[in-house]
Structures are given as C-alpha cells and as structure tokens.
Structure 1
C-alpha cells in the first residue's frame, strides 16, 4: 500500500493537492493558458504545411515554370521531386536531431532556414539552381514534421484532447495544400512563379516569430551533450539513404530525356547502384550503426509494419499518381491557367480538412481498422475515376469526385498510422519514429513520380521533348497509364488494411489499457 502511494506521488500525472490522478483530457502543464496551447498546435500544424505549401504552389506553376526555363517531362518533375527527395532523405536524421537537441530549438532553426531558402529560391535564374534551392528547402522542413509529431506525442497522454491535437497536426497537409494552390494560382496569374517563393518566405518568417513565443521551452543543453550527440549521429546511414534514393529517382526520371531510353547504360547502371545502396543502408542500420537513425524496434511491431505498408501505398497513389499528373492534365491538355487549375484542385484540400475533423471527433468511437478500410476504398474509387476518364469528361463528373475521395483516404490513413507509430516507441524516441514514418512516405512519393514519368514515356514518344504539347492526345493516354498504376497501388493498400490490428484511441476503455491503439 505504501509503495503504491509513493509510486503515485512520483508520477507527474498525480495531483498532490487533490490526491487524484490528473485527467488525461486536461490541458498539459507545459502550457500556461489555453490560448498558448491553441497557438502552439497551430504552429505545429504549419510545420506540416511547410511540405504541402511548396507542393500545391508549384503544381499550379508547372506551365509557367516550364516556359520560364524551357524544360518538360522528367526534368520538370525535379522541380517537385527534389524537395521531396531531400526532405525524405533527411527526415531520419532530422528526427534524431529533434530527440537530441529539443523540439523547440529544431523547429525555430528550421523555420528560419526554410524562410531564407524560399526567399533565395525566388531569385534563381536557371533551372538547376532552382532545383538545388528547392532541395535545400526540403532539408530545412524535414525535421519540422518529426519535431511537431514528437512534441504532441510527448505533451499529451492518450486522450480525446490528444486525438484533436494530432488531427490538427495532420490537417496541416490539407491546409498547406489549399494555401499553396491559392498562392500559386494568384501569384502565377498576376506575376510569375517567383512571387510564390517570396510570399512563402514572408509567411513563414511570421510563423517563426510566433513559434518563438508559444512553443514550450526545451531542457537546457550543455556543450558536452551537444558534442557527444554530433559524434554519435549516424552519418553513414544518412549518406546511404540519400544516395540510394537520389540515384533511383534520377535514373527513372531521366529515362524520357535519354535518346536511347532504357538502352542508355547510365540509366540502368544508376538504378542498380541505387537499389544496392538501399540494401547496404539496411545492413548498416542492423549491424554497424551504434546509434542508428532508424529505431529498429519499430519493425518488431506488426501493427507498425502493416500500417506502414498501407500508408506507403496510399501515399504513393495520392501524391505520386493522383497529385502531380492531374495537374499536367489540366495545364498541358485542357490548357487551363494557374488559377483555374488551383480552383479545380481545391476540393481536395477542403475535403482533407473535414476528414481530419471527422477523425478528431470519432477516433475514440470508430476503430482505426474500420477507418483504414473505408479510406482505402475511397482512394481505390478515386483511382478508378481518373483511370476511366475520357478525353473530354466533365470536371464535375470525374476529377471533382476523384479529388474528394483521394483526400479522404490520405488524411484518414495519415492520422491512424501516425497514431500507431507514436504508440510503438517510448516518448524519448517519438521524434525518430515520426522521422521513419514520414521518410518512407516522402521517398515512396519520389518513386511514384519517377514511375509515372516512365509510364508516360512508354506511351508518348514526345514526352519530355519540345513537341510534347503538340500531341495532347498522346500525353493524355500516357497519363492514364499512371492512373492504372494507381489502381494497383490502392487495391493492394485496401487488401492489406484488413490485416491491420488498430482499435480506438482516447476512449474511456482505451485509457485503462497499457498499449493504446490495439484492437479492442
């Protein structure tokens, strides 16, 4: 009895004044007021938006960008995939840095760096320079996602309040995408793609200032701790994962630019080397690295492995197939302007926001397994809509519903699988776990974009050449090949989701369990 009382008194969740365990749905003590809590969660939400704002804004800027630098096909893909590739490659070490140096410090540094890189990118006068600066942007926003997820995971116990916080965090993708579409559409229509970068820099400069005042402070660090942390970082693993996916992506996206395509020696050689380095990375993480950037205990959790597969297939469908290539359809085939294209894609962002709200208020009642099955039914439906679309199909009968269904699937999957990931590791490793989860999603997106370029090239011999837009019908049927691939990915995700064992989160029954997010 005395031992139990002593254990309770040492528990930070035990209130010594009222002699009872604190309500897990109460405001975390790290926040001095509800106003600070709300602003902090919004800032964390905008940390996710740093990835989707550039995505949405540049997708509506594709035609303007192509005309400005005279690039097309796989080369144009690099304006989008470079930022995804660099962020995906740096997420693992970024997650490690957030756990070691403190989430607030990392967030402030990365917000500032992202702001500066966005500003400089607006002044680039050649395409390669722009791609490099976009990659630098990705390096800075990569740690923001695990920092945000780790911050919420460490501040909130499993509860409905935590569900709401994670839902707001996850909605950053949808909110950022809407903002990106509007920024890109208006900026390109009135000015050019450069103003997209300038506006982004101004906005995140303001976010940096707000974050300084509302994000809870980290524990003090000393020079010895910093030095030890830097020495222990898995630089070899980081280099291998970056090199592997850079080579794989480059070889796939350059197929259409090479005269002999797959018969070009450097194309298949780099692809083979990239796959080899990926295998070496796995071996290094398992047997060589003393402090691996990928927490290997994650892969011992069956729910995490299955949910990661489902999330990857859903993400490569949503971003890699149904995100970028419909923009080519609107701008290069339908000849719609940037603002018109932005408005056409807007239902996807709005649907994503409402989906996150739905998850926030229902995750304590509806099991994650049911949500995953329903979500992947939606993205399978979206893939079928796009794949069966005729050349002159009405927007309201096709793309409109395809956008809505795909966003529902993406945000449900992201919410559920993020919760599973956070529940699979200790609090101290939550930043690293979020880094692993988001790294895989970013990198499969690059693979999806690259495979899409290969499939279009197989059908359209003019793709990536100056004559590309002279044969819109060939381009249309080439893009439809990508949508057939999306059906395969989303169908596989639906089948695997039946085997994921994820229950409710935040219910009264769940709070009495030791392991959250298990089937109940």
Structure 2
C-alpha cells in the first residue's frame, strides 16, 4: 500500500523550513489566547453578573456552556483537521473565536452571552487540536518536536497566570466587556499572519467522509461526562442525575466502540487507541490534569478565604508556579530526548505528589512563605516535566494522517481529568468542612482535598512507571499500524 499523500511537505522537510519557529510562535499565541480567555472570564464574572442582572444559575452556565462544547467536540475538531485541512480548520476556529468574543463583549442579556460562549467553545474545539496537529506536522518527531511541545506546554501556565493578573485590572478600568474584547486584536493579527507561516496539510489517503454515527456518540458521551462531573459536587455523586449520566456515558462508550470497529472511515481508529504510547500518555495526562486543576483550585481558595489575599495578590504570589513550570517543561523535553519517557515522567510525578503532601500541612494561621511558596516551586517543576512528557508520549508514533485526532485526544484527556479532579476534591473538601464557613473549618476541608491529590499522584506514578522507556523511531506508511515503542522491562 502507498503511504498517505499530503499537500504540504513532510515534517522532516519542515525541520529545514526557516519559518518553523515563527509558526510555533503563532500556534503558541493561539493556545495562550484560549487559556487566557477561559480563566479571565472567571475573574470578570462578578462584574458581569451584576451588570447583566444574572442569577447564580445563569452565571454558572456562562462557564458550563463553554466547557461542554469545548470538551465535547475536541475529537471531532481534531479529526476535521485531518480530513479537511489543518490550517483551514485552525483559521475557521480563529474566525469563530473572533466573532463570539465580539458578541460576548456586547452581550445585553443572559441568553446572548450563554449562546455566544457555547459557540465559542466550538471554535476552541476546532482551533486547539488543529494547532497542535500543525505543530506535529511542522516539527519532525524527536528533539525539535520535543522542544516545540515544551513551549506549547509552558504557554498554559503563562496564560492562566496572566488572566489572574490582568483580569481584575481590565474589569476595574474598562468594564467586564474588556475581558472578551481583549481577544480581538490578537485574533486579527493571527488571522493575518497564519496564511504566511503555516502550511496547509490534510490526509489524502482517506475519503473526506465523516463518521457521523461515531461523531454523534463520542460527542454525546463527552458532553454527558463533562456535565456529570461538573454538577456532581452540587447534586451529589449518588444522585439520579449523576448516576444516570454516568450510565449513559458507559452505554454510549460501548456503542461508540462497536461503531468504530465496523466503520470503513472511523472517527477514532481503534488501532490508534491500542498503541502503547497513545494509551499510557493520555492516561497519565488525565491524572496530571486532576492534580493540576485540584491543587490550583484548593490553593486559590485557601489563599483567599483563609489567608486573606485578594485575587490579584494571590495571582501575583502564585505566579512562581507557572514560572517554574516553564523551567520544568524544558527539563522534561531534554530528559525525554536524552533518556526516554519513563526517566522523565517518574521524577515529575513524584514532585507533584511531594508538593501535594506538603500542602496537607497548611494551617489556619499559615502564610504564603511558610505554607505555599516551597510546594508551589516543587509543583511547578513537576508540572512542567510531567505535562510535557505526557504530551510527547501521547503524540509519539502517531501517523501523520491522524495527528489531528491524537491532538484532540490529548486535550480531551486534560479537560476530562481536570473536571474529575475538581469534582472529587470539591466533594471531599465539603465533606470534611463539617462546621460553618470559618477559616478553621475551611482549612480542614482543604487539607482533606490535598490528601485526595496525593492519591491522584500515587495512581499517576503507576501510569508513569507503565510508560515505555526509550522508543525506537519506526517509519511506516500512514495506512499501516505503527509498532509500539521499544521499551524496557
């Protein structure tokens, strides 16, 4: 069989392309913008709720609507990039991002802004996996791609911290509308530059036919899963709603596997999921995300509700964590390049677990230097190493024709893992805060939440140990199964 043909040059040619690092900047800017947007909306929510006279339920749906469409459509967005053109889908996502940001900034009631945020999630689901897929096509598997993925991973922490630092300032000085409109000039620049530096590519080896049944079942399953875990702390894990939705997820998952096994053009080829790198890399990503979201959530509440810092003060003090994550990301890619997956992932996960264990010791009379600073430094380093390693592993050995799908899987794993983490630690924290919302009772709950984070770390460590050691690159046609990496015992 002949290898799949693409419209762009291969990744190895991309290594010699002088525009590849400029392309990386464009892709990282897009990722930065998505993360900044998701976090800055949270900062501007109180002002938004007051100005639009939103009740708490409507305000929550501004976040939930975006989360559901983004998390639910990631696989479909990634596969669309493979079939229709990665740059084309990326730019379609940018245009949608621009339009929905403008509409959100000028929204006059709850219905408009909730709808705009839901469509905004669709745009993000198109843009994010296609951007990472372009990165994979631009950089050949190996040292340069590892560095590019490290940069991509580091951008996440920078975006989240920037949102906390500038969100309050923008809202105070320019109104809640500015948290949406700040995206507009950035998107316009990206739309102008992208055609100049990003090469188009898509999978010509398969028919441009969508697996509609697979797309519907996978999207419905992801939406049901995200909604179930986001609402579980409120309605209860054993409620009819939560158990019913989780049962629906299981049924849809079984149906999806059956559809994919029989489809001539599956949305998610099952052979891809059977690859050791894809399976272990994404599983590790789930538990890394559970720790990242959970620790960020708990430490933010502790810093503001117990230690008394404002959101801006906490954002500034907490910025040490993403700074260290940048350092960790480049350490991680260097270790992966020189020694392999497992030697990078295991120390990274251990550092995450140690930081979570240290935070169990927080107390009501604590302070930033004595209780948070050192754990933040350790956690940041571990986060950079573990997240970068999980990303590299999950994308290693994937055929170029399925790079968009693999990128969608990585982001779906991160979103689902983060949702699970927050849902679990929220439930644990509330269960152990048995009294009124006094600092001492809140602290008891946060301590219990960090214990749960340590449990996540133990499971993540098992995933890290299961990773391949070193991999031997194998060049195969796109329509053949690429062998799993050669691993140590």
Q: TM-score, normalised by structure 2?
A: 0.84
Cα gap change, 1:504 to 1:257, in 2 (>3 Å)? closer
Deviation at 1:390, TM superposition (A): 1.2
User: Equivalents in 2 of 1:235, 1:101: separation in Å?
Assistant: 15
Deviations 1:29-60 (Å, cap 9, x if unpaired)?
Answer: 5x4xx3x3322111111232243212432454
User: Equivalents in 1 of 2:200, 2:76: separation in Å?
Assistant: 22
Deviation at 1:100, TM superposition (A): 1.1
Listed as ranges, the matches of 1:226-241 within 5 Å are 229=208, 232-241=209-218
Who is 1:303 aligned against?
277
User: Equivalents in 1 of 2:458, 2:130: separation in Å?
Assistant: 32
User: Equivalents in 1 of 2:457, 2:20: separation in Å?
Assistant: 37
User: Equivalents in 2 of 1:516, 1:44: separation in Å?
Assistant: 28
Task: Kindly indicate whether the alpha-carbon contact (under 8 Å) linking 2:290 and 2:417 is maintained by their aligned counterparts in 1.
Answer: yes
Task: Kindly indicate whether the alpha-carbon contact (under 8 Å) linking 2:345 and 2:386 is maintained by their aligned counterparts in 1.
Answer: yes
Who is 2:400 aligned against?
427
Who is 1:158 aligned against?
141
Q: Does 1:137 align with 2:120?
A: yes
Cα gap change, 1:386 to 1:189, in 2 (>3 Å)? farther
Task: Kindly indicate whether the alpha-carbon contact (under 8 Å) linking 1:88 and 1:440 is maintained by their aligned counterparts in 2.
Answer: no
SS class of match (1:322): helix
- Most deviating of 209-218 and 450-459: 450-459
User: Equivalents in 1 of 2:80, 2:271: separation in Å?
Assistant: 18
Instruction: Name stretches of at least 5 consecutive residues in structure 1 with no aligned partner.
Output: 1-11, 15-21, 463-467, 507-513
- Most deviating of 97-106 and 123-132: 123-132
Who is 1:119 aligned against?
102
RMSD, matched Cα: 3.5
Listed as ranges, the matches of 1:465-476 within 5 Å are 471-476=438-443
User: Equivalents in 2 of 1:325, 1:65: separation in Å?
Assistant: 24
Deviation at 1:182, TM superposition (A): 2.9
Who is 1:281 aligned against?
256
Cα gap change, 1:486 to 1:449, in 2 (>3 Å)? same
SS class of match (1:292): coil
User: Equivalents in 2 of 1:262, 1:363: separation in Å?
Assistant: 39
Task: Kindly indicate whether the alpha-carbon contact (under 8 Å) linking 1:420 and 1:502 is maintained by their aligned counterparts in 2.
Answer: no
Alignment match of 1:488 (pick from 455, 459, 476): 455
Deviations 1:65-123 (Å, cap 9, x if unpaired)?
Answer: 66666666x98765555434322221111111111111111111111211221222233
Who is 2:478 aligned against?
none
Deviation at 1:233, TM superposition (A): 1.4
Who is 1:511 aligned against?
none
Q: Across the two proteins, how many residue pairs are aligned to each other?
A: 472
Who is 2:479 aligned against?
none
Who is 1:213 aligned against?
196
Cα gap change, 1:448 to 1:256, in 2 (>3 Å)? closer
User: Equivalents in 2 of 1:205, 1:481: separation in Å?
Assistant: 46
Who is 2:418 aligned against?
445
Deviation at 1:433, TM superposition (A): 1.5
Q: Does 1:53 align with 2:53?
A: no
Who is 2:316 aligned against?
343
Deviation at 1:379, TM superposition (A): 1.0
Who is 2:86 aligned against?
103
User: Equivalents in 2 of 1:239, 1:372: separation in Å?
Assistant: 35
Task: Kindly indicate whether the alpha-carbon contact (under 8 Å) linking 1:75 and 1:254 is maintained by their aligned counterparts in 2.
Answer: no
Deviation at 1:310, TM superposition (A): 1.6
Task: Kindly indicate whether the alpha-carbon contact (under 8 Å) linking 1:419 and 1:517 is maintained by their aligned counterparts in 2.
Answer: no
User: Equivalents in 2 of 1:491, 1:80: separation in Å?
Assistant: 31
Instruction: Name stretches of at least 5 consecutive residues in structure 2 with no aligned partner.
Output: 1-7, 474-481
Task: Kindly indicate whether the alpha-carbon contact (under 8 Å) linking 1:330 and 1:341 is maintained by their aligned counterparts in 2.
Answer: yes
Q: Does 1:315 align with 2:302?
A: no
- Most deviating of 211-220 and 43-52: 211-220
Task: Kindly indicate whether the alpha-carbon contact (under 8 Å) linking 1:77 and 1:449 is maintained by their aligned counterparts in 2.
Answer: no
SS class of match (2:337): coil
Cα gap change, 1:109 to 1:369, in 2 (>3 Å)? same
> Is the radius of gyration larger for structure 1 or structure 2?
1
Cα gap change, 1:345 to 1:210, in 2 (>3 Å)? farther
Who is 2:370 aligned against?
397
Q: TM-score, normalised by structure 1?
A: 0.79
Deviations 1:473-498 (Å, cap 9, x if unpaired)?
Answer: 44443344332221111111113312
Who is 2:227 aligned against?
250
- Most deviating of 121-130 and 47-56: 121-130
Cα gap change, 1:183 to 1:504, in 2 (>3 Å)? farther
Alignment match of 1:478 (pick from 445, 448, 452): 445
